[in-house]
């Protein structure tokens, strides 16, 4: 590029020298015939007024065009490929999310439970539940202990001393002021930092105020004890004595049987009696508890996989398309990465799963359509899930299962150090290099433009000078001709 600029500069310098020489010759040969002088001046046809900016711009653009086209085309291609790989990666990530769900054992170990009589309560399950049917008989609900004190005036002092309140092995000692009212005692109990699980409430009735003490939790083990210290006042001792006396609202455990087996629970939320099953009791009574595998959630996961796969097929079709009418092709038509993706995914889903009685997706009701997408026969799928859910699980999540194998394939492409990420990094590096090349080209063209601007400006100045000389000589020769004619 520097050589070209020098060559152009040299040519313009030669032209300027030639023009300058012509001017000198014209000046020294003023004695030549006037006819010859007229011929030279009238044939010049040039002078000031050159559009230097347009000339220089055209020359620079012509010089820059080939290199600029190369950089632009390379950058456009890299950006197009980079964007297309991003779309492919996003589609594969969505597919892998659905595949990962099918490669997880818990997807196939979802259970649902129900009570024949829903008024008795409700049931929930965990992954370790097992199918079965049980006769449930609830004879008693768990209750929290509640006791009420004698009647006191709302504003009268109960008396001072100490109260010890305990629940199980935990207890708290409270110092009560001699001026404390029932409300003060209730506040002291509720705000105690070591409160073992007791709530105090003042109830203002028609006969006066009474202190209601309640266990925070149900069950015999959560019942409370209360006693006044030996030095306490008679009022506080009387209060504690009434609250320590059993009444009609004592703590009870829930009592029930499952298939005749007795079960006791401190809570009405009974867990552990049946593995993976929690029974929330609402009332007493008898009913049937049924636990069965929830095949609907598994079917939904399989359908989600098919939907994600079909989205992948559509995206691949767009990226590798070709329109024969417009001769427009998709951004990854013939691309080695895309070809590798489609080949490996197809292989992973086409092989049979050895040792599995279902063996293939088609036998499960998942078939390939003419356009490459998958379709689900819900009847066939649900029948297989109901008849042998463990086999369906192995078909997908087993060591040779479809989801297990496909997940491994997808990792090769979608991992942070995978094929697509590596390719994207390479394209990003290429774009960075092209940016550097663009900067260098712009710098060379700026220098070239500066050189041309200087030379053509000088030429324009010389043209203007010659034009002025031409006008002067023309006028002078005309005057000489007039003088000669008169003589």
Regarding whether 429 and 349 lie in a shared domain, the answer is yes
Cβ atoms of 406 and 395 closer than 8 Å:
no
Between CA 56 and CA 448 the distance in angstroms is 9
Domain span at residue 410 reads 1-25+35-110+294-481
Per DSSP, what are the bridge partners of residue 137? 257, 286
Dihedral angle at the C-alpha atoms of 384, 386, 392, 397, nearest 10 degrees?
160
What mean pLDDT comes out for the span 194-210?
Answer: 96
pLDDT at 458: 84
Regarding whether 157 and 42 lie in a shared domain, the answer is no
Number of domain units in the chain: 3
- Listed residues 244, 262, 280: the one ending a domain: 244
Query: Is the residue at 10 inside a domain?
Result: yes
Regarding whether 303 and 178 lie in a shared domain, the answer is no
Is the pLDDT at 156 greater than 90, yes or no?
A: yes
Is the pLDDT at 429 greater than 70, yes or no?
A: yes
DSSP class of residue 245? Answer: S
Regarding whether 441 and 350 lie in a shared domain, the answer is yes
pTM above 0.85, yes or no: no
Query: Is the residue at 212 inside a domain?
Result: yes
Report the relative pairing of strands 374-376 and 170-176 from DSSP bridges. unpaired
pLDDT at 49: 64
What mean pLDDT comes out for the span 446-459?
Answer: 89
User: What is the CATH classification number for the domain harbouring 217?
Assistant: 3.30.70
Query: Is the residue at 487 inside a domain?
Result: no
- pLDDT tens digits for 311-324? 999 999 999 999 99
Query: Is the residue at 334 inside a domain?
Result: yes
Query: Is the residue at 72 inside a domain?
Result: yes
Query: Is the residue at 164 inside a domain?
Result: yes
What mean pLDDT comes out for the span 217-225?
Answer: 97
Label residue 84 exposed, middle or buried (CB < 10 Å: 0-12, 13-18, 19+): buried
Regarding whether 279 and 423 lie in a shared domain, the answer is no
Query: Is the residue at 486 inside a domain?
Result: no
pLDDT at 487: 57
Instruction: Give the total residue count for the chain.
Output: 487
* Residue closest to 57 by CA, chosen among 48, 65, 49: 65
Within 13 A of 237's CA, how many CA atoms are on the CB side? 6
Angle at which helices 402-414 and 419-486 pack, to 10 degrees? 30
Is the pLDDT at 30 greater than 50, yes or no?
A: no
Regarding whether 162 and 87 lie in a shared domain, the answer is no
Regarding whether 447 and 328 lie in a shared domain, the answer is yes
Query: Is the residue at 30 inside a domain?
Result: no
What mean pLDDT comes out for the span 204-225?
Answer: 96
* Residue closest to 349 by CA, chosen among 102, 88, 85, 91: 102
Regarding whether 153 and 135 lie in a shared domain, the answer is no
Between CA 471 and CA 473 the distance in angstroms is 6
What mean pLDDT comes out for the span 422-446?
Answer: 96
pLDDT at 122: 97
If one compares 4 and 232, the residue with the highest pLDDT of the two is 232
Is the pLDDT at 190 greater than 80, yes or no?
A: yes
Label residue 238 exposed, middle or buried (CB < 10 Å: 0-12, 13-18, 19+): middle
**Lowest mean pLDDT, pick from 26-40, 80-94, 188-202, 345-359:** 26-40
pLDDT at 486: 67
Regarding whether 438 and 302 lie in a shared domain, the answer is yes
- Listed residues 219, 244, 269: the one ending a domain: 244
Q: Mean pLDDT over all residues of the chain?
A: 89
What mean pLDDT comes out for the span 35-64?
Answer: 64
What mean pLDDT comes out for the span 120-139?
Answer: 93
Between CA 271 and CA 256 the distance in angstroms is 12
- Listed residues 208, 226, 244: the one ending a domain: 244
Regarding whether 302 and 354 lie in a shared domain, the answer is yes
Regarding whether 122 and 156 lie in a shared domain, the answer is no
Between CA 153 and CA 208 the distance in angstroms is 6
Regarding whether 443 and 308 lie in a shared domain, the answer is yes
How far out from the chain centre does Cα 78 lie?
25
Is the pLDDT at 328 greater than 60, yes or no?
A: yes
Is the pLDDT at 158 greater than 60, yes or no?
A: yes
């Amino acid at each position: 590029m520097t050589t070209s600029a020098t060559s152009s500069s040299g040519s313009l310098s030669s032209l300027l020298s030639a023009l300058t020489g012509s001017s000198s010759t014209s000046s020294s040969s003023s004695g030549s015939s006037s006819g010859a002088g007229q011929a030279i001046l009238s044939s010049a046809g040039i002078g000031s007024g050159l559009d230097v900016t347009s000339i220089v711009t055209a020359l620079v653009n012509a010089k820059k065009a080939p290199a600029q086209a190369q950089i632009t085309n390379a950058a456009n291609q890299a950006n197009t490929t980079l964007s297309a790989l991003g779309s492919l990666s996003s589609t594969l990530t969505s597919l892998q999310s659905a595949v990962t769900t099918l490669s997880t054992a818990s997807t196939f170990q979802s259970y649902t439970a129900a009570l024949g009589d829903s008024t008795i309560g409700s049931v929930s399950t965990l992954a370790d539940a097992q199918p079965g049917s049980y006769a449930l008989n609830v004879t008693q609900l768990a209750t929290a202990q509640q006791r009420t004190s004698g009647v006191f005036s709302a504003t009268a002092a109960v008396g001072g001393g100490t109260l010890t309140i305990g629940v199980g092995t935990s207890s708290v000692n409270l110092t009560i002021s001699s001026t404390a009212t029932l409300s003060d005692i209730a506040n002291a109990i509720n705000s105690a930092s070591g409160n073992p699980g007791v709530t105090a409430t003042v109830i203002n009735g028609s006969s006066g105020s009474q202190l209601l003490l309640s266990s925070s939790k149900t069950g015999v083990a959560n019942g409370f004890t209360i006693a006044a210290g030996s030095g306490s006042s008679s009022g506080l001792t009387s209060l504690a004595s009434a609250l320590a006396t059993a009444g009609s609202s004592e703590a009870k455990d829930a009592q029930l049987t499952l298939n005749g087996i007795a079960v006791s629970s401190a809570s009405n939320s009974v867990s552990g009696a049946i593995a993976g099953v929690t029974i929330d009791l609402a009332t007493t009574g008898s009913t049937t508890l049924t636990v069965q595998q929830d095949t609907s959630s598994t079917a939904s996961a399989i359908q989600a996989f098919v939907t994600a796969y079909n989205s992948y097929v559509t995206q691949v079709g767009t990226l590798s398309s070709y329109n024969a009418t417009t001769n427009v092709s998709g951004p990854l038509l013939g691309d080695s990465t895309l070809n590798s993706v489609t080949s490996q995914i197809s292989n992973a889903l086409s092989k049979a799963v050895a040792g599995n009685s279902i063996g293939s997706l088609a036998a499960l009701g998942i078939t390939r359509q003419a356009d490459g997408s998958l379709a689900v026969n819900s009847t066939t799928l649900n029948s297989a899930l109901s008849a042998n859910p463990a086999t369906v699980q192995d078909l997908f999540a087993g060591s040779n299962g479809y989801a297990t194998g496909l997940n491994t394939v997808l990792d090769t492409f979608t991992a942070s150090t995978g094929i697509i990420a590596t390719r994207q990094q390479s394209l990003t590096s290429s774009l960075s290099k092209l940016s550097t090349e663009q900067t260098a080209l712009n710098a060379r063209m700026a220098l070239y433009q500066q050189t041309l601007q200087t030379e053509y400006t000088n030429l324009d100045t010389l043209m203007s000078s010659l034009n002025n000389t031409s006008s002067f000589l023309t006028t002078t020769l005309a005057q000489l001709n007039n003088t000669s004619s008169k003589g």
